[in-house]
Structure 1
Amino acid sequence: MSVIIPIRGLRYNPGAGPMSELITPPYDVIDFWLQERYYRQHPCNIIRLEYGKTYPSDTEKNNRYTRAAADFAAWQEDGILQREKTPAIYFCQEEFTHNGQMKTRSSFICGVKLFPYEKGIILPHEETMPKHKADRLALMQACKANFSPIFGLYVDPGRIIEKPLLTEVRRAPDVSFTDEDNRRCSIWVVANAGVIKQVQQLMDSQRIFIADGHHRYETALTYRDLRRKQEGYSAGECPYDYVMMSLVNLYDPGLVILPIHRIIRNAPHLNVEEFLKHLREHFLVEKFPPGADHKNLKAFFEALGKRGSSPQQQSRHDVKYGRNQHPHVFGLYIGGDRFYLLILRDKSTLSPVIPSGYSLTWQGLDVSVLHYLILKRLLGIEEEQWADENYLSYTREEENILAAVDAGMYQLAFFLNPILIEEFTAVAASGEKVPQKSTYFYPKIATGLVINQL
């Protein structure tokens, strides 16, 4: 099924500067302030290529994309970026702390052949937004490169695929550094043809699930088709028939999935007390003990996670669940240090609310229940408004969410538990997509480790 190849990646010359000052997270988590910080951090930071500034004076011939292309060419000419002498796979290990536990996540960066989703070889799980794809396409057309790898997942319970690559770990890594979040990243450049062939053969039976980078993948397909049209399609393969991915085993012990929370504004005719009354028709609404200045936040999220775990841990007799189903539990914040836990009373009441044309797994996702029962039915926020920041915003930053509600910028905040890995794969394998911004794979794959020329 999937086809992977080694690539002659471009990497920063060790003399260019500390790697921690040259890389960034993916573009889609960088706001104005982060962009400004990375610009100031180092004159050769990858931000200037991946997500350059825009100015009121920008023109068709002088804009973020043309400037990125000019810098990309100049950095190669000046030796700041150097191309690998031979094609390679890049084996990476990231050491980080999550919830007080040290974890190590392994991955490898390579080229992955592009296939339309309907082929069932590369599988998405989230919806995309046109404006982001237009931005990424303009950058690819200007620079003819992938600056950041798409985050892909494969399924290998026995962890067989990475074994040939682990033989390389016996030597010192080619790159090793600690990033701004105190994560240790080590990279081995694997050019051994025998090792590469083993990995290719093992990956041949795999499908790849896109964890992060749906916009970039769909853009790469569009870019490939445009290049084929411009150059005349032939049976031979070209670099643009592949896209750079960082592949992680779904069974890697260092794989962490976090939730993305929702904050609401401009909900039509919202009366908070009336809303709580309507919630009680469907949920047990438990007020969480208040704590001055959000001091109870950690305990709140611990309770959210515990109440949303397996039914066997539930003692409430007035909550009905189907067999092998976890409870639907949400956190709610309405300002003024007022926190609530919402526990769905009876899953059978969801039938009239959740769209019927989806699998049972999709219908049973927490995010599906939140969007269709609470946002759409109880708050009157329609599906076409879910991508409109005038109504709904998505973020991981809990403290910022509370501050935004307290300041009156938003009316309500909803907190979710993370999607389960089994749910993620089942939805993607069935050809379905969860509502946008439903998963946050942590840590994000850094931009600037390797660049793939097209």
Structure 2
Amino acid sequence: MAEIQPVRGWRYAPPLSQQIDDYVSPLFDVVSARQREALYRNPLNSLHLTVPRGDDPAGAALLRLREWQQQGVLAQDVLPGIYVYYQYFRLPGNPGHEYCRKGFMCHIRAYDWAEEVVLRHENTLPSSVNDRAELLSRLQLQTSATHGLYRDDAHELERYLDEAIQDPLYQTEEDYQGARDVLAVIQDRRVIQRFQELLADKQVILADGHHRYEGSLAYRQARRAAAGDTYTGQEPWNYHLMYLTNSAADDLRILPTHRLLLELPDNLTTEEFLTRLAPYFTVLPQDDPYGLPELIAGKPWAFGLYLDGQSYKIRLRPEVHAQLDWPTTPEVKALDLTVLHYFVLGKALGLGDMEAQRVWPGVAYVRNFPECLTRVDRGEARAAFITNEVTMQEVERVCHSGAVMPPKSTFFYPKTIGGFLFSSIRDDDAHHPFAACF
């Protein structure tokens, strides 16, 4: 199924890599405006390539890329390799435990969704896909890896990863999200071929980076159409840079994304809103809003509600679930967030189906639980719905069902960072003497 290839990575040159923290950056879809302005002040920060600015952003990024390559800011590794990428991190509520997410970066063939090799779990916005495709077309450089998941219950590849990480190329002290990122490389042909053999019968779930992946698909389709009869399928632009992690690993974390209602339609009062919820949910007042996450933990179709300074635990009445008649799979209907969107936004608030809800401006998605309460208390939102995280098993079930989740269902943590590795998809990379080895 999944064909992967090693990469002759472009990286910050050794003198600069000693200060790699100065050059890494958040991904394009999570970097804040304040972070952007701070990072842009460093003329060598990777954000100039991953999130370029100006009247012609892609053109500006191309000029900068050429300068960096000519000046030796970026250098290409001589040998192709599988790039080992570990992220060490801690989580609130368990600060004494350090997690380690293990994975590796490589090229994967850019499969169309219909081929069912790479599986998606969310929809994309065309404008963001076009932006990524334009950047890829101009630079012919993959500027940041998307995140994919394969399942290997035997954990066979981890021993190779653990061995390689003992000799890192570089590492951050602490990235913008508090994680420590470490990069190493495997250049042993026999080991790389074992990676290829193991992935050859796997499907890959796209955890993060749907817009960047679809940008690669759009660019590949355009190049294939232009190539006509000369197309071979082995051109470098058929491939996409991906960070692959084992979905069977213990240190794979998905954090919840809560829902803020910035307004209530029809100028509903608190009492009217609670009355509208009553046919679908049991509503139990609570004394401590900060106890809501623990109160709902592990309970299906249960949510915390913070409304006008009062907290509630609400849980769907089991017999009501059969009313959920959206045209989707049973795996999606079973999700907490589907229940929330259908019965709260759709039924209680009368906002219609998921497509109608997408264009409603009255909902915001917030990952920080205390921020939800603060924004309600400040009057910036009318209500906050506190949710449980989606499990890896739920993600796998939905993806294999062929459906997609409600928007903002998953937040895989930590995010990968930009600037650790770049990969070329230029035509001349196909003629490197090592290409025939794989």
Do the two structures share a fold, i.e. TM-score over 0.5?
yes
Query: After the TM superposition, which residues 96-115 of structure 1 pair with which residues of structure 2 at under 5 Å, given as runs?
Result: 96-98=89-91, 99-100=94-95, 101-115=97-111
In structure 2, which of residues 323, 331, 338 is the aligned counterpart of residue 352 of structure 1? 323
Structure 1 residue 90 corresponds to structure 2 residue 62: no
The CA distance in 2 between the partners of 1:263 and 1:132, in whole Å, is: 24
In structure 1, which of residues 387, 392, 396 is the aligned counterpart of residue 367 of structure 2? 396
The CA distance in 1 between the partners of 2:201 and 2:118, in whole Å, is: 12
Q: Cα 1:387–1:21, aligned 2, differ >3 Å: closer, same or farther?
A: farther
What is the aligned-residue identity percentage?
A: 31
The CA distance in 2 between the partners of 1:81 and 1:288, in whole Å, is: 56
Structure 1 residue 338 corresponds to structure 2 residue 310: yes
The CA distance in 2 between the partners of 1:87 and 1:350, in whole Å, is: 52
Q: What SS does the aligned partner of 1:185 have?
A: strand
1:179 corresponds to which residue? 174
1:234 corresponds to which residue? 231
Give the letter aligned to residue 350 of structure 1.
H
Given that 2:53 and 2:60 are in contact with CA atoms closer than 8 Å, whether structure 1 keeps it comes out as no
2:295 corresponds to which residue? 303
Query: After the TM superposition, which residues 76-87 of structure 1 pair with which residues of structure 2 at under 5 Å, given as runs?
Result: 76-87=69-80
Q: What SS does the aligned partner of 1:386 have?
A: helix
The CA distance in 2 between the partners of 1:414 and 1:277, in whole Å, is: 16
Q: What SS does the aligned partner of 1:178 have?
A: coil
CA deviation map 1:107-143 (0-9, x unaligned): 0000001111111111001111112112212211221
Q: What SS does the aligned partner of 2:53 have?
A: coil
Q: What SS does the aligned partner of 2:172 have?
A: strand
Given that 1:381 and 1:391 are in contact with CA atoms closer than 8 Å, whether structure 2 keeps it comes out as no
Structure 1 residue 415 corresponds to structure 2 residue 386: yes
Structure 2's unaligned 5+ residue stretches are: 426-438
Q: CA RMSD in A?
A: 1.8
2:431 corresponds to which residue? none
1:375 corresponds to which residue? 345
Q: What SS does the aligned partner of 1:28 have?
A: coil
The CA distance in 2 between the partners of 1:389 and 1:11, in whole Å, is: 42
2:410 corresponds to which residue? 439
Q: What SS does the aligned partner of 1:148 have?
A: coil
1:74 corresponds to which residue? 67
1:322 corresponds to which residue? none
Q: Tell me by how many angstroms 1:177 deviates.
A: 2.4
2:30 corresponds to which residue? 29
Q: Cα 1:236–1:374, aligned 2, differ >3 Å: closer, same or farther?
A: closer
The CA distance in 2 between the partners of 1:385 and 1:191, in whole Å, is: 50
Q: What SS does the aligned partner of 2:29 have?
A: helix
Count of residue correspondences: 417
Given that 1:96 and 1:102 are in contact with CA atoms closer than 8 Å, whether structure 2 keeps it comes out as yes
My pick for the range that moved more, 104-113 or 384-393, is 384-393
In structure 1, which of residues 286, 289, 292 is the aligned counterpart of residue 287 of structure 2? 289
Given that 1:354 and 1:368 are in contact with CA atoms closer than 8 Å, whether structure 2 keeps it comes out as no
2:433 corresponds to which residue? none
1:200 corresponds to which residue? 196
The CA distance in 2 between the partners of 1:142 and 1:394, in whole Å, is: 33
The CA distance in 2 between the partners of 1:44 and 1:386, in whole Å, is: 41
Where has structure 1 moved over 6 Å in runs of 4 or more?
A: none
Given that 2:293 and 2:387 are in contact with CA atoms closer than 8 Å, whether structure 1 keeps it comes out as no
The CA distance in 1 between the partners of 2:215 and 2:158, in whole Å, is: 28
CA deviation map 1:186-220 (0-9, x unaligned): 22111111110111111111100000011111111
The CA distance in 2 between the partners of 1:226 and 1:284, in whole Å, is: 53
Q: Tell me by how many angstroms 1:11 deviates.
A: 0.7
Structure 1's unaligned 5+ residue stretches are: 291-295, 310-326
In structure 2, which of residues 284, 287, 302 is the aligned counterpart of residue 329 of structure 1? 302
In structure 2, which of residues 255, 260, 268 is the aligned counterpart of residue 258 of structure 1? 255
